[in-house]
Structure 1
């Protein structure tokens, strides 16, 4: 037991470094998911037939982009976008390189989450805004986004948790972070304490993300 604890203490600096790399990858990817995914989801919703800006061909394209993006397994996506990753960041390994496939996986996921969140809004609310002369832009920013904000926040929480899992998977191709530590030290060097500590850290991280996500969503939910 003492030897087990000693082994854990020996790798504290390594685990802290891996945790910071994971937080960086998840944070950057979540930022791009917000910037790209939420507008994608909003446009997909409002261009549906019967919504405020119906456009069937455009909606079909947006919906297809989301579906295709979500249907590609992440491990395949990481390998497939290596040329693009090299163009953007100049390398295909490391935390910066891992952000590219993580963002590409998160954007369509967040787009679908946003689309579903807005679709849950009672259409009568939208019709009331239209009857009062609100423009499509006003409806989006003063009705759709405020009403769907709690659901979008919960969707962001789910996206962040998925990105934690994906970032661990990125360690398989040298993406850095806790996944890289688990593979290089826990699996390849047969260091069971490192593997167990990595699992514990990832579990705690996911629990904290879910807790704070639920709290923030409840804060913005006017129905509570």
Structure 2
């Protein structure tokens, strides 16, 4: 049916490209969640009035976050080619795209984590400190649980951004739907392939948005 409507489309290649997009997005999302939480916690804990108040560390982390948020992703990929080649042994394919995807998205999510943590009732944090709770306990028993709905909403927004990043990474050989749309669609003037890839990416975005909203609503106890 699809091949009749879109004669240049090859289903096997489309499924492979879709799998690669999911593969890159999910693995990068896991890495982004971990590093984003760490960055957000550092920004929150070392800020003025924070548990670990430290202007120097806060400035360094904030500068790192701001710099990497400011660099356009397509340029970031090119800048990270030597690092990617050293780390992964190649600059092509889905695995090679992961370092750039994580480094590009983690600072963005880190800021969202910081915002979510700032929304936690300071009275609850102060009460925990007054009862002698250690910093680790405050982080894992107060800050993260209380901010979890906002953290899930933030990672959902980040996931959608990552899907767009994978499409850009595909243009320089990372694989996925971006790669398929550009090399097998645009460059060959087979715009039906570009259209189908666009539709699939939109569907993937809706899937991630639905899952993220569902989880956030489930754990939101307000």
Conservation of the 8 A alpha-carbon contact between 1:41 and 1:115:
yes
Give the CA deviation at 1:55.
Answer: 1.1
Matched, 1:216 2:196: no
Contact 1:53 1:136 in 2 (8 A): no
Q: 1:117 — aligned with what?
A: 116
Q: Unpaired runs of 5+ in structure 1?
A: none
Partner of 1:184: 183
Partner Cα distance (1:2, 1:80) in 2: 39
Match of 1:127 in 2: 126
1:74 matched to 2:73? The reply is yes
What is the CA RMSD across the aligned residues, in angstroms? 1.5
Query: Displacement of 1:163 after TM fit?
Result: 0.5
Q: CA deviation at 1:4?
A: 4.9
Q: TM-score w.r.t. structure 2 length?
A: 0.96
2:167 and 2:126 map into 1 onto residues whose CA distance is: 45
Query: Aligned in 2, Cα 1:62/1:161: closer, same or farther, shift over 3 Å?
Result: same
Q: Could you say which residue in structure 2 is the equivalent of 1:51?
A: 50
1:210 and 1:171 map into 2 onto residues whose CA distance is: 22
Separation in 1, partners of 2:111, 2:208: 20
Distance in 2 separating the partners of 1:2 and 1:196: 12
Matches within 5 A, 1:139-154: 139-154=138-153
The CA distance in 2 between the partners of 1:3 and 1:137, in whole Å, is 56
Deviations along 1:168-224, whole A, 9 cap, x unmatched?
A: 00111111100001001210011121111001000010011001100001111111x
After the TM superposition, list the runs of 4 or more consecutive aligned residues in structure 1 that deviate by more than 6 angstroms: none
Contact persistence 2:6–2:193 (CA under 8 A) = no
Residue number in structure 2 paired with 1:163: 162
Give the Cα separation in 1 of the matches to 2:121 and 2:50: 12
Counterparts of 1:2 and 1:35 in 2: how far apart (Å)?
Answer: 39
Instruction: Report the secondary structure of 1:115's partner residue.
Output: helix
> In 2, Cα distance between the equivalents of 1:123 and 1:63?
22
TM, length-normalised to structure 1: 0.95
- In structure 1, what is the Cα distance between the partners aligned to 2:65 and 2:115? 12
Count residues in correspondence.
222
Determine helix, strand or coil for the equivalent of 1:7.
coil
